[in-house]
A = this chain, B = another copy of it.
Amino acid sequence: MSRVRVLLADDEHLIRGALAALLGLEDDLEVVAEAASGPEALAMARAHRPDVAVLDLEMPGADGVTVATKLRAELPSCRTMIVTSHGRPGHLKRALSAGVRGFVPKTVSAQRLAEIIRSVHAGNRYVDPELAADAISAGDSPLTVREAEVLGFAADGAPVAEIAERAALSQGTVRNYLSSAAAKLGAENRHTAVRLARERGWV
């Protein structure tokens, strides 16, 4: 029986290395490649064609979901899964619609992760129950595409003029969008709106 070929992508060397060592102990798993950034993960995947790609959500260059999306197009045979410390509901949704088949927080044990990798490789899907519950209770984003976009530009505290420029919209329009977005989120100003949207993973 051939072993499951795994790609490991995480910018924290400590975790990646440790994980590689632990997963390597399982005799049906084999870590064939490691990467510390999004682009590197893609390159490694192309070179080594793993069966399962275990991707960290927050990485320099490109986040896990972006990598997963590209992998799905380039290497359809490769199953992808996301591992993350901060499980925002929106991220989970985004990940699932990108074709990700596993979504786990870093609070699970290596043993458990190994099991999940096997399960994903077998064609199953796995989502951490806790995160799933959060996602369901948080519901869908009530924001329209533009509202979310404008809110994203407002995320770093930029003034309206700058947001308008970046979004190529008039200042009035920007203010209207921000206002309606804040209203939908129950926030009293755009800054708390940004915070709320962030927490739910809607930006």
Contacts and interface: CB of A to CB of B under 8 A. Distances in A.
Chain A: number of interface residues, binned into ranges: 20 to 34
B13 A108 contact: yes
Interface in A150-165: 156-159
A109 B13 contact: yes
Copies in the complex: 2
A14 B157 contact: no
Interface of A: 11-15, 17-19, 21-22, 36, 83, 85, 106-110, 113, 156-159, 187-195
Contact of A106 (B13, B21, B191, B193): B13
A12 B23 CA distance: 17
A191 B157 contact: yes
A67 B36 CA distance: 30
A110 B14 contact: yes
Contact of A14 (B13, B17, B107, B193): B107
